[in-house]
């Protein structure tokens, strides 16, 4: 072999290696629940408490749609967002990491779905929606809009809204993304159409089990459990959810796997029957920071249930915690690392987190700050600690 062809061969090998590494890049899509800036004590997390190097994208949750409005976006909490400067604080994170992308997430679980529908169905309102979205991005130097419409039940209307945003945003390199139900059968989705129009589809692959079912169950198992029916195993876990989206026409490079920085909590009927699938008598109490019956943030679990016992569910690749008759199915550093391995193996675009401020942001539980978000970033870099 001539030396020139040997050099050529090396160039080919090196560039293949480079391409492979590129395709393994895992994005970290961080939702930030802005109302955490009003939580008490050390659970308070303002925009300037966020670490701009642990996320590739931050989604500011939420902007809202006013029902009486003409399609324009409005602040969810003007006092916090504007007067206390919380949005500007997030915008300023780009001074620390200029590669960070920022998006406004519009809507959310408590926003009325019919308001989205009314805007998408009306040319004037839709034009106002697009113009107003653009004004918000310009004003705060953000990079895109995330439609969190729960749920459309109308295939053409969601696409129409997304396309209108895209027509205006794409020439400027701005992003149009959406957050979706874990089961693509559930909410009226044209998956192929969504795959075309959206830059990213954030799959909310969590909340698979809750106290309403009367049984202990994991919030976000990576895989199914043999204690479940075969239908449950093909719907109620992250792997199944991502495959259901892929089988309907979404490509893995446009999908994220959703992870929750919180657990679903239960009251056990019998403390000796503490495996997933065993009986539960209802949800555990609200936490002092997140104030929601039947769920606790990771900080609440590690800080307030210090005396709890954590066990590993090897079948579903997630932990669960017991403390007295409290039971929680949640994610920890180990399970999030498993999810990153899965994301790499499947070529999925990244991990989506709802929501980062329930991590142990300030290192209260005795370890480092942001233990969950740091574990994710370490695993992405193949770093062990």
- Interface residues with ligand NAG (CB under 6 A)? 223, 234, 239-240, 243
Closest of 93, 95, 99, 176 to residue 134, by C-alpha:
176
Q: Report the residue number, 91 or 244, with the smaller CB distance to ligand NAG.
A: 244
- The active-site residue out of 150, 196, 315, 346 is 150
Q: Report the residue number, 249 or 308, with the smaller CB distance to ligand NAG.
A: 249
Q: Which two tokens stand for residue 37?
A: 């800036």
Q: Which two tokens stand for residue 266?
A: 């239960």
96 and 152 in contact (C-beta within 8 Å)? no
Residue 333 beta carbon to ligand NAG: minimum distance, rounded to whole angstroms: 21
Virtual torsion, Cα 168, 129, 113, 234, nearest 10 deg = 10
Q: Does the annotation mark 123 as catalytic? A: no
Q: Report the residue number, 216 or 240, with the smaller CB distance to ligand NAG.
A: 240
Residue 240 beta carbon to ligand NAG: minimum distance, rounded to whole angstroms: 6
Supply φ then ψ for residue 350, to 5 degrees: 170, -175
Question: DSSP letter string over 113-160?
Answer: HHHHHHHHT-HHHHHHHHHHHHHHHHHHT--EEEEE-S----HHHHHH
Cis peptide bond N-terminal to 151, omega within 30: yes
Residue 239 beta carbon to ligand NAG: minimum distance, rounded to whole angstroms: 4
For residue 41, the tally of other CB atoms under 10 A from its CB is 9
Residue 310 beta carbon to ligand NAG: minimum distance, rounded to whole angstroms: 23
- Residue in this structure with the two tokens 């329930």, named with its chain if needed: 358
Element (H, E) at 232: helix 230-233
Q: Is 155 exposed, middle or buried (0-12, 13-18, 19+ CB in 10 A)?
A: middle
Q: Report the residue number, 300 or 338, with the smaller CB distance to ligand NAG.
A: 338
Q: Report the residue number, 239 or 256, with the smaller CB distance to ligand NAG.
A: 239
Residue 244 beta carbon to ligand NAG: minimum distance, rounded to whole angstroms: 8
Residue 315 beta carbon to ligand NAG: minimum distance, rounded to whole angstroms: 9
Q: Report the residue number, 113 or 277, with the smaller CB distance to ligand NAG.
A: 277
- Catalogue the active-site residues: 150
């Amino acid at each position: 072999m001539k030396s020139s062809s040997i050099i050529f061969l090396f160039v080919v090998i090196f560039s293949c290696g480079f391409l492979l590494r590129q395709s393994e890049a895992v994005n970290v899509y961080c939702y930030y629940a802005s109302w955490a800036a009003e939580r008490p004590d050390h659970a308070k997390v303002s925009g300037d408490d966020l670490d701009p190097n642990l996320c590739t994208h931050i989604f500011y949750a939420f902007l809202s749609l006013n029902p009486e409005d003409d399609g324009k976006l409005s602040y969810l909490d003007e006092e916090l967002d504007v007067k206390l400067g919380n949005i500007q604080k997030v915008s300023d994170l780009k001074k620390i990491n200029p590669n960070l992308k920022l998006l406004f997430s519009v809507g959310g679980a408590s926003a009325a779905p019919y308001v989205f529908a009314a805007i998408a169905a009306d040319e004037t309102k839709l034009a106002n929606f697009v113009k107003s979205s653009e004004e918000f991005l310009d004003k705060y130097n953000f990079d895109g809009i995330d439609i969190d419409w729960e749920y459309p039940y109308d295939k053409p209307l969601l696409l129409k809204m997304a396309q209108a945003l895209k027509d205006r945003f794409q020439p400027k390199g701005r992003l149009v993304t959406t957050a979706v139900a874990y089961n693509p059968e559930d909410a009226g989705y044209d998956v192929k159409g969504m795959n075309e129009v959206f830059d990213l589809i954030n799959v909310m692959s969590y909340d698979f089990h809750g106290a309403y079912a009367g049984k202990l169950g994991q919030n976000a198992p990576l895989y199914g459990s043999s204690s479940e029916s075969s239908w449950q195993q093909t719907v109620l876990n992250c792997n199944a959810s991502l495959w259901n989206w892929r089988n309907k026409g979404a490509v893995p490079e446009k999908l994220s796997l959703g992870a929750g920085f919180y657990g679903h909590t239960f009251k056990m009927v019998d403390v000796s029957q503490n495996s997933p699938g065993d009986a539960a008598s209802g949800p555990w109490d609200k936490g002092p920071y997140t104030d929601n019956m039947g769920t606790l943030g990771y900080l609440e679990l590690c800080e307030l249930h210090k005396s709890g016992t954590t066990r590993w569910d090897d079948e579903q690749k997630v932990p669960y915690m017991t403390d007295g008759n409290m039971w929680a199915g949640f994610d920890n550093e180990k399970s999030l690392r498993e999810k990153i391995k899965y994301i790499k193996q499947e070529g999925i675009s990244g991990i989506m987190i709802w929501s980062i401020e329930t991590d142990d942001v300030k290192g209260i539980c005795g370890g480092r700050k942001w233990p969950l978000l740091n574990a994710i970033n370490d695993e992405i870099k193949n770093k062990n600690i």
